[in-house]
């Protein structure tokens, strides 16, 4: 018997309770009790992409799109593409031993009663052996959901810690160097391959498969733990990141930019939603018409994201990396390709290098076609590393993009925000 919970989200994957194994190769492990799991200085210096995984294998429900197969599908694709620490030991590092997010970090974004309610629902699911459903039976909790969400958020915090530590180490080494060229090598980026996702849940309500706002909590952590005042969050998931927007709507120190499909769940993210009070102008929404694809995504970045970032001058960039805008994905109707994510990630990494010492962390959000998801993350890794895409698909097989409609949206966004 399924139980409908009273808290306040579409429902393919059959649960097989897979073990979420990491891609083969060396990993860096630290004591789980440590408040911050930092890589050794030599690794911070040489690594180019750090990733953490938390697959939440017990947080799954038969037939649900946001299923336990998602993270293993990504790791399998990375292995098949040779994107592992074993095969690329000088560039890729997997972080292990990170802890669940402390409640203090969660409460920087979410209400205390909300966290208590999530824990209670998860406990009820464990005791009854039945999932708890919220938001009209489309977002589910199992007995592990609350702890899984805390671990996914903890991964995000640990990655922020390491990216910040690496950038500050580079800055110190550059200051001590007599060379006018500064420090050598490339800055460290990071990717949290973790679930459940987070950008839909508001400070007081779970939504859209999401329970804790990973990007929002990571942003507050960057500010409070590291003194990085200005945070840019770019969300390219096909669905609007309403929860992240709600968390920072009146905050001028967090620039939230979301490109998403117009009219899709959760029916928010209109061009006129620009923030409130002191935060007016620090929310930029780009609702793209259906069938928008590769060209639209790149033009969004070039004409809105990059100029807005250059004006804002962030201290760190966080990316809500949802891959459900891919043409194969069943939950919406955009036409991004795996090469689109390669281009976006390469451009975002270059932007971070230019504006904020290379500090950038990608956080997994949506993406529900398992092949598209794995291939897109592979191409994201390649883009961050400065390498071109692996995308054999013929784009001529896709529908024509609605160029005129896209231009109309972009012109309106630029007008409103003075870009």
Nearest CA to 26 out of 9, 1, 43 is that of: 43
Rounded Cα–Cα distance for residues 7 and 125 (Å): 14
Rounded Cα–Cα distance for residues 110 and 205 (Å): 9
Query: Do the strands 316-321 and 231-235 form a parallel or antiparallel pair, or are they unpaired?
Result: parallel
Is 59 considered catalytic here? no
Rounded Cα–Cα distance for residues 361 and 238 (Å): 19
List 259's β-bridge partners, or say none.
Answer: 286
Cβ atoms of residues 361 and 190 within 8 Å = yes
Rounded Cα–Cα distance for residues 359 and 317 (Å): 6
* Triad 245, 251, 253: Cα angle to 5°: 110
Nearest CA to 255 out of 278, 234, 282 is that of: 282
Rounded Cα–Cα distance for residues 419 and 411 (Å): 9
Rounded Cα–Cα distance for residues 158 and 52 (Å): 9
Nearest CA to 253 out of 278, 234, 270 is that of: 278
Q: Which of 200, 221, 260, 417 is catalytic?
A: 200
Rounded Cα–Cα distance for residues 237 and 321 (Å): 6
Active-site positions read: 200
């Amino acid at each position: 018997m399924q139980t409908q919970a009273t808290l306040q989200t579409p429902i393919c994957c059959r649960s097989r309770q897979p073990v979420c194994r990491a891609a083969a190769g060396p990993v860096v492990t630290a004591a789980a009790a440590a408040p911050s799991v930092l890589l050794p200085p030599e690794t911070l210096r040489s690594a180019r992409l750090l990733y953490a995984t938390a697959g939440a294998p017990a947080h799954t429900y038969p037939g649900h799109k946001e299923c336990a197969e998602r993270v293993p599908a990504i790791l399998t694709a990375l292995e098949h593409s040779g994107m592992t620490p074993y095969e690329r030991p000088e560039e890729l590092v997997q972080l292990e031993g990170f802890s669940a997010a402390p409640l203090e970090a969660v409460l920087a974004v979410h209400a205390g009663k909300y966290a208590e309610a999530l824990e209670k629902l998860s406990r009820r699911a464990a005791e009854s052996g039945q999932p708890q459903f919220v938001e009209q039976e489309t977002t589910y909790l199992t007995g592990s959901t609350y702890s899984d969400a805390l671990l996914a958020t903890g991964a995000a915090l640990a990655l922020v810690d390491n990216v910040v530590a690496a950038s500050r180490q580079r800055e110190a080494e550059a200051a001590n160097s007599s060379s006018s060229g500064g420090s050598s090598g490339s800055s460290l980026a990071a990717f949290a391959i973790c679930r459940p996702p987070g950008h839909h849940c508001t400070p007081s309500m779970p939504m859209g498969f999401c329970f804790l706002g990973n990007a929002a909590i990571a942003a507050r952590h960057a500010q409070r733990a590291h003194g990085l005042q200005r945070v840019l969050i770019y969300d390219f998931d096909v669905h609007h990141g309403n929860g992240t927007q709600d968390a920072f709507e009146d905050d001028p120190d967090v620039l939230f930019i979301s490109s998403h499909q117009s009219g899709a769940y959760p029916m928010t993210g209109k061009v006129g939603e620009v923030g409130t009070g002191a935060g007016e102008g620090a929310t930029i929404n780009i609702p793209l018409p259906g069938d928008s694809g590769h060209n639209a995504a790149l033009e969004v970045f070039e004409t809105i994201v990059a100029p807005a970032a250059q004006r804002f001058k962030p201290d760190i960039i966080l990316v809500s990396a949802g891959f459900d805008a891919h043409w194969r994905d069943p939950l919406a109707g955009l036409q991004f390709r795996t090469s689109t994510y390669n281009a976006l990630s390469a451009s975002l990494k270059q932007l971070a290098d230019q504006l904020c010492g290379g500090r950038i962390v990608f956080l997994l959000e949506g993406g529900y076609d398992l092949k598209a998801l794995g291939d897109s993350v592979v191409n994201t890794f390649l883009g961050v590393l400065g390498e071109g895409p692996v995308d054999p698909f013929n784009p001529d097989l896709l529908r024509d993009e609605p160029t005129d409609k896209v231009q109309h949206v972009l012109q309106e966004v630029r007008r409103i925000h003075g870009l």
